[in-house]
Amino acid sequence: ILSKVGMERLEMLQDGSGRNLFHILAQLPGDHTKKTLDHVLKILSKSSIDPSLRAEDGSTPLHLAAESGNEGVVDFLVKQDRAKSVVDAVTKGEKETALYIAAKYGHVSVVSRLLDAGADPDLSPPDGDSILLAAVRASQSDVTKVLLTHPKCVSRMDINRLGPDGKNCLHVAVSKNEDEICKLLLSQDSVDPTAKDSDGNSAVHHVIDPVPGLGSYENIELLELLVDKGADPTEPNGAGRTPLYCSYRHKSTTMTEALLKTGKVKENVAAKKAAKESLPEAMEEASLIEGGVDFARDAIELQKKLGAEVDTATVVKKAPSVDPVSKLEGSCEVVKSADGNGYYDITLHQTKVEYGIYGMSMFYKVQLLRDKTKELFILWTRYGRTGEEGQNQRTPFDTLKKAEKEFEKVFKSKSGNTWSKRSVFQKLPNKYVPLDIIEADKARQV
């Protein structure tokens, strides 16, 4: 088609968002056929199409290639004189550079290529995370390694810099229980294992109490590593609470024993008593329900809701909304399931009662989206503790078949069930359960 369309017409082509052909190519997944891609880029390079053009949202082709992880397009763009001038350009809304975007989404080869091309690793959104902290927060261990070892980054990455939430890279990695990233950070001479966050919590506090009031991952190896690197397990936080106090409060005998085994912490009867007396207060603080609860009214409302759902079962279901956290509501829609039964949209839930006082409630949301402006499919996943926004990831695919296969693979790995047999879902130990099944169980109990 390109060979039959006049070059002048190619140069004028833009979509409704002000994007040219380079923008469109940049959004192709990184695994797109290299031979075809190189051929098309070669044709476009002979035109006057601007490889540095900013679309209406401020994005350049380089921003989009960094997000999709398309190393071929990135490699082509950084060699173009006009595109070189916008290597460090920022997007309108988030104020992110292409390097920052690639780091956040874990595209290691793209991060390395952009750094080689002269991208500035010190540029980050105003009042936002540093690029290193963004990679750590997104659990991108490979990118973290590149940022700590690349010649352009060595001695420039401030590991101890606090982010907007008052935590540094080590605090975040420890609280997320990211062993590999923690080891990478602690291997750096510049890291300060004794540094505290804005609430006075040390890295040891974050091992014992990663999310205050919700228990611990009980990562003894990480605790021992921190102490071995110089972290003080006896230092209190801003509220005067020591790591030992926090372990008492959670009734975590595992972490209490681990602290005592360091040889630097001694049993404290007074702290143990104070922690026990604070439990009612802690439970009140952790409560998500304000005011009284009318069980009878709630049961009636739920029955009405379920009844309405049953009555409308024969009506074609409305497509579920795109997860607003993805910021893709305007351009994407949820894909219908190939078996004709609903959509590729599921929210899974898991409760681990063995963690802390209250247990740990986790969610895992998966959606398969289709970009309405082009034939591109996106697997959107978001996961974390219930009540929080959690972490997220979006993976682009150039064919529906590949995207469906990956969606079903994720569903099976998390639930232990196959997508085609979800109507006869079997609950399995240590696996997630669809939220609608949990709600149905609650209704039957009512």
Amino acid 304: pLDDT: 60
Under the banding of pLDDT at 50, 70 and 90, the label for residue 280 is very low
pLDDT above 90 for 168: yes
Contacts of 11 (CB under 8 A, 6+ apart): 47, 48, 49
Condensed to tens digits (0 to 9), the pLDDT of residues 354-399 reads: 544 455 688 999 999 998 877 789 999 998 888 888 888 888 888 8
10 Å Cβ neighbour count for 80? Answer: 17
Q: Which CATH architecture has domain 1-157?
A: Alpha Horseshoe (1.25)
Lowest average pLDDT, out of 98-102, 157-161, 442-446, goes to: 442-446
3-state class (DSSP) for residue 9: helix
Phi-psi region at 217: left, alpha or beta (left = phi > 0; alpha = psi -120 to 50): alpha
Report d(CA 252, CA 258) in Å as an integer: 10
Report d(CA 273, CA 278) in Å as an integer: 9
Under the banding of pLDDT at 50, 70 and 90, the label for residue 321 is very high
Task: Provide the CA 29 distance to its chain's centre, in angstroms.
Answer: 19
Closest C-alpha among 259, 277, 278 to residue 267? 259
pTM, 2 dp: 0.62
Burial of 437 per CB tally in 10 Å (0-12, 13-18, 19+): middle
- CATH 1.25.40.20 boundaries in the chain: 1-157, 194-286
Does 3.40.50.620 match the CATH number of domain 194-286?
no
Higher pLDDT, 317 or 180: 180
The per-residue DSSP string of 420-433 comes to GGGGG----TTS-E
Under the banding of pLDDT at 50, 70 and 90, the label for residue 327 is confident
Q: Give start and end residues of each alpha helix (H) in 46-116.
A: 61-68, 71-77, 81-84, 98-104, 108-116
Phi-psi region at 174: left, alpha or beta (left = phi > 0; alpha = psi -120 to 50): alpha
Burial of 168 per CB tally in 10 Å (0-12, 13-18, 19+): buried
Would you state the structure tokens that stand for residue 174, as one six-digit string?
């420890």
10 Å Cβ neighbour count for 366? Answer: 21
Would you state the structure tokens that stand for residue 77, as one six-digit string?
């763009």
Under the banding of pLDDT at 50, 70 and 90, the label for residue 54 is confident
Would you state the structure tokens that stand for residue 172, as one six-digit string?
């975040």
Q: Looking at the chain, how many residues does it have?
A: 446
Task: Provide the mean pLDDT of the chain.
Answer: 83
Closest C-alpha among 333, 354, 334 to residue 343? 334
Amino acid 99: pLDDT: 95
Torsion of the alpha carbons at 357, 361, 362 and 367, rounded to the nearest 10:
-170
Amino acid 315: pLDDT: 40
DSSP state of 89: -
Amino acid 372: pLDDT: 82
Computed from CA positions of residues 52, 54, 55, 57, in that sequence, does the dihedral angle turn out positive or negative?
positive
Lowest average pLDDT, out of 156-160, 184-188, 231-235, 289-293, goes to: 289-293
